Chain A
Amino acid sequence: MLSARSRIALALLWLAVLALAAWAITQRLQLSGDLRKFMPAAETPAQKLLIDELGEGPGSRLLLMSISGADAPTIAAQSQALRSALAARPEFALVANGGDASLDAIPKRLRPYRYLLSDTFDARPLDEALLREELDARVQDLGSPAASLIEPLLSADPTLETLKLAERWQPANAPQRLHEVWFDRAGDKALLVAQTRAAGFDPTGQQAAVDAIHSDFAKIAAGTRSELVLTGPGAFSVEIGGRTAAEAQWIGMVDTLGLILLLGIAYRSWKMPILGALPLATAGLAGLGAVALLFDGVHGITVAFGFTLIGVVQDYPIHLFSHQRPGMSPWTNARSLWPTLATGVASTCIAYVTFLFSGVDGLKQLAVFTIVGLGAAAISTRFVLPALIDPAPRDFADSRVLAKMWRGIARLPRPKGSLAMLALVALGIVAFAPGPFWQNDLSKLTPVPADALAQDAVLRDELGAPDVRYVLTLEGKTEDQALQASERLRPALDRLVATRALTGYDLASRYLPSAQVQRARQQALPARDRLQAMLGTVLEDSPFNADAFDPFVADIEAAKRAPALFQADLQGTPLAASVAGLLLPGSDHVTALVSLSGLQDPAAVAKVAAANGARLLDLKEASESLVAAYRGRVLAALAIAALLLTATVWIALRQPRRVLRVLLPMALTTLLILAVLRGLGIELNLFHLVALILAAGLGLDYALFFDHAGDDRADQLRTLHALIVCSLMTLLVFSLLAWSSIPVLRAIGSTVAIGVFANFVLALLVSRQPVQEASDVVA
């Protein structure tokens, strides 16, 4: 037995080791928000596109902004300032506000390519008549107030192709421009759109982007009345993430206070809350460490689910504390509890092993996390914690309050038929309650406030931003084939726009024509000699000098000789981002996307697409089917897990009656939770499922410990004490979560809270053994 001082020293040492481990793990840990790692392998084409190539819809990286509240020139200037501030930041691949339809968009080395990218000469070849017309217009330009803008371009580009292209490369279906920037139809909001480099599902990256926008705008708008509205999937996820964190923090604080209070009252010692937290902290760190060691990146959902699942280890030290009594060494105590604790841990761990064979990376991580966590908590409770416990001043079996409670419980009838009835009613509710059983829509888990959604709809409409749900795809063996397919599709798309099935679309061939088209344009360009002869005739009686357009002749010649432009050549230009989002190279094929905006009639678009070799993908449907597939894997794993768990308990307890007494509360509770949730019309999601597993794990432990207490009255009292503390603690934590406004937290909270209550009551009624008559006399 250690002295009080060395016990404290040991506890501090443990804490230090944990802190060191936490530091080491955070060095290694790469938290990933990539949902794809948590999903099963993609099977349908839409799933494959979503998971393997796209990762998300084309609109999910877009943040939409509006500036309002001041006069139009002021907000236009602020829009320009914000655009240039954001464009300079690494967080953004693209920032557009309608301005900058200028030359900076095209790098110098690519400028001769304007004659291959622009369709100006498709309808009307570059001949003498066209040149004459254009040069006449340029004379007027020189005499106009815009002269200083146009003069620098003129000698190389007398037809102003540069300006035409810059204008064309503005997003399709762009809003009106006032004061050089996009404005809404009413003309009182300047509109901007930014494409983040971070994926839409990367919360950290989106947070950085949103923060950058807010801080830059604050600087720009300082001293004015301008206001910024920021929407888009990334902005929403940041807002919801922030709200979740804020609520979780608030709940966590209340929880901590409640737990300290609860443990203080239960054990009358300030040390207990600290000692009680050590196995949980050990479990979390051991789990994280194992996952970080075995996997490339730890998924955020693994951590969230994992910490929910290891919540059960909070109970381990409680059992030890409550069974501690004067004259008994903590080591003896731990040794006598160990078979029960080990049975619970082992059967749960064996159940989680099934997740390892699920074929889903995220579930494997979850299994490793939970198994290692539970194991570490159990082992530390058995082999380290006893060294830290102070000798007990009293035996909880002597508590009068407990004794009174216990007598009341002992008088309760043993339910048999009533349980069967309860199960039957619950089963009926689960089976026949109206409404869908499962919730597949991931977005429902993170609901966007209605006013933010309304703002988003307005901005999306004004900006003609692409649909986040539907996208058209075309495939080609090569980049050029995919671009040719896009070009062939355009007339059909234009007809769809004309019939108002769509308001607009965007595709890669709008920026980068296929090599075929580029070559045809090259051939149509006049040769140097012919161009010079044409120019000579036209310039003879024009105000321009004879040599004024020599750079133009050189550029045309360069364009005529240049090799066709491909996606790789756009590297480092503003065009690269536009094209990269729409032209996705795969291993053996290239996928061209057509983003759609203002989609009114998906069915009509799907039909036209199919007739033209394209496909309309419903990304929402794809992600929902993935969620369903994922859930299927979880359920299959759980079914096997249930069998394994039963087998483990059977091997440990060996008597059919005891096995039944231990497993019945847990099974019945699961049924009851489902009945309550279904009865309330709640659609179940993955978080409910995970919470059900936790509830079942808690129920197993409760039942095992009641079973362990056997027919000994004193031991039953101590077990009752332990389980009251355990269940109150869990109930406190999870019922607070159940009141949360965040559906994820609410799902976990409500499920576990109902589960703890039902498990406790049922374990008390079913798993507890009848006490020998003799002990009644002693009382």
Chain B
Amino acid sequence: MLQPDPVEQLEPDEGFRLDALIGQLSGSENEEPAPEQAQIRETLYNFGFIDEDSKREVRRKTLKAVAIPGHLVPFASRDLPVAKGWGTGGLQLTFSIIKPDDLLKVIDQGDDDSVNAVNLRRLIQRTTGVPITTDTTAASIVQTRHRVPEEPLHEDQILVLQVPMADPLRWVQPYIERSTEMHAEMDYAPIWVYMYESVVHSGDMDISSQYPVMVEGRYLMDTTPCPRYDAPSLHMSETLYLYGAGREKRIYAIPPYTRVEPLEFEDFPFRTEHKPEQSCEKCGNSNTYLTRHYIEGKHGGEGRWAFFCSDTSYCQKQILIKTGKKAEKVSGE
């Protein structure tokens, strides 16, 4: 069976101005990097961009977050050449754990090629030089925003999630001091009222993303704007999940094999938004999270709505396995 290439160099080498600069400084402009080039790169850009003290801070707080699953750990968030709110928390986590022999995958809402994913990937690659892949199973670190990959992750992988709003109690308690106390006292009644109200207003649980979950029966945790569909994949997962909120200066984590239970009522149990009758128009799968896209009609004709897999690399892989070819563009007619 045809398998996709696990390692794909997404960025052309000539695009790396830093490498060209290093080549000039070291006097060798050969394709093969000279040993001294690594040292020059280190002086120009620290490995993983941020300084070692900052990395140590992030690592220490990450360890604390892993030790207390689901607990929001404050950390000294650094400025990065990315606006806060555009993945600085996830970036700092990735920069603090990445090693030269890692294989990185960066996705945004399941998509390898969205603007946010491409920008962050470029930054990480230019400041670390690590290889990049789109294959979820091959990557050692997966940085993601708003999605958990479809393919099951394993013990030797780390999933880093970018978090815009870390505290699940923010909807019901805007004061951080008070919500911290509520977490300490397990005072989660207001979020239950929020869910009760959701049932009363819509007749069912209408929280489609950021679904609140209870971690190890102790801490209420925000699943980030990941769809409700992804919440079950956190339960007893083999992988370490790290969540970084750069703007809110919080890290939290789900270590491997941790109980993660979505909040639910006895008469309104938790359900995913999966609809088996819908399937991806590219790969034909109906067991993945699908997103709706508008397809422009040919020659100015009327377009239509279509469903595609949110996880593009998984979709590509499925097409490749089924047909041996890459995906073709879906037509509006």
Pair from one complex:
no
A: residues with CB less than 8 A from B are none
Interface residues of B (CB under 8 A from A): none
